Amino acid sequence: MSHSTPFLTPRLVGERFAERAIPLELLKDLAALEEMIVEVAKWRYLQEHPNRKRSPRGFTDEISLKLTGIEAGSAVPQISVFFAPDPFPPLLDSLPPASLRYVDQARSSLIGAINAAEHNESITEHLPDFLLDYFNRIGRGLQDSERIDFDPANLERPASLTKATRRKLILASAQVEELTDDVTLRGTIPAADQAKMIFELQVLNGPRVAAPIATPHLATVLEAFNGYKQGARVRLQGVGRYNRHDRLQGIDAVEHLSLLDPNDIASRLDDLRALKPGWLDGKGFAPDLRGLDWLAQCFESRYPDHLPLPYLYPTAEGGVQAEWSCHAHEITLDISLDTHHGDWHVLNMATGEETPWELDLDELSAWSQLSAAIQRLSESER
């Protein structure tokens, strides 16, 4: 009969973790955490027994980490360590195996290393080089505004794992030349090899890298490859591999791959990011990159998926013009990336009637108004 004791209660902080929700993609991190704890426990044992070359056989066979609950608030998974009692205890009462002490030490080493990364202290005082590579699998799914507090009860040093501290932990190892991260990329497929099940992705405004072809994605790869000269683009979600200088080296895994609409907003805005000052015959301001990020987020979160997408053009003033054609109506929306102001204009080609609006695109109501108008004018085609 196995016994258990509480081990870790990390707190996941971010919008995705509200109401005790943990995205399934992050459960991979918990599985990697168990592997790391076991290996750190073996390392701690060898530190105390320098005459041994390896830990005892079956050292951690009877120990496992399991998710036993999720506390309220920001998601707080309750992780317990399960163990089989020592079958030959020195006393009458059964005792935990001796290896459990090193598992507890492994937890302290983990928390110490994360705190060291967060406070610019020596990471390798807590963990050796060869074990830091585990952070290539732990925390990979975190987004920019998210973190995992591994010691949340310690208000001064909660051991917060973020994208930044994770990077420090990985690169603190002299043995690690590359790190992995979850990526969402848009690009074209100029080459595909069905025999080797590999394709090449030309990232928009980025490098050309190789990626594996998973069987469920083969048809999409071939369709994008055959449509390459016609400008077919794809959206890839997976695991990217970067060097120490943050340059993408390749794709280790492809989780999702889909063909993009020719007017895909994020893809078109990526095109605009490449514009330089003077792009229009020596004139023309380059769009502000932060403004393009803002516009991409607005369309992503506030423009309904079922509505037709506009075609986006850069303006000489550094803004963006969105254009729709809905039956007899030509629609333009001139967007200022600085003020987030929109000038909306509808021209009825049959009657010559014009309808101008001014919109504050920071307001959700403006996007609701815009979407309702596009919906109405699109339905007039039927």
**What structural domains and CATH numbers belong to the chain?**
3-176 (no CATH), 180-259 (2.40.50), 265-379 (no CATH)
3-state secondary structure of 48: helix
Residues 36-48: pLDDT tens digits? 999 999 999 999 8
Neighbours of 82 (CB within 10 A): 15
Which pLDDT score, from 0 to 100, does residue 139 have?
A: 92
| Cα atoms in the 13 Å half-sphere on the side-chain side of 339 | 10
For residue 26, the Cα-to-chain-centroid distance in whole angstroms is 10
Residues 149-193: pLDDT tens digits? 999 999 999 999 999 999 999 999 998 899 999 999 999 999 999
Which pLDDT score, from 0 to 100, does residue 4 have?
A: 84
Q: Which amino acid is at 360?
A: D
3-state secondary structure of 112: helix
Residues 6+ apart with CB under 8 A from 309: 261, 263, 264, 265
Which pLDDT score, from 0 to 100, does residue 15 have?
A: 87
Where helices occur in 232-363 by DSSP H, the ranges are: 265-273, 289-302
The long-range contacts involving 274-280, CB below 8 angstroms and separated by at least 24 positions, are 274/205, 275/314, 279/314, 280/316
Residues 6+ apart with CB under 8 A from 57: none
3-state secondary structure of 107: helix
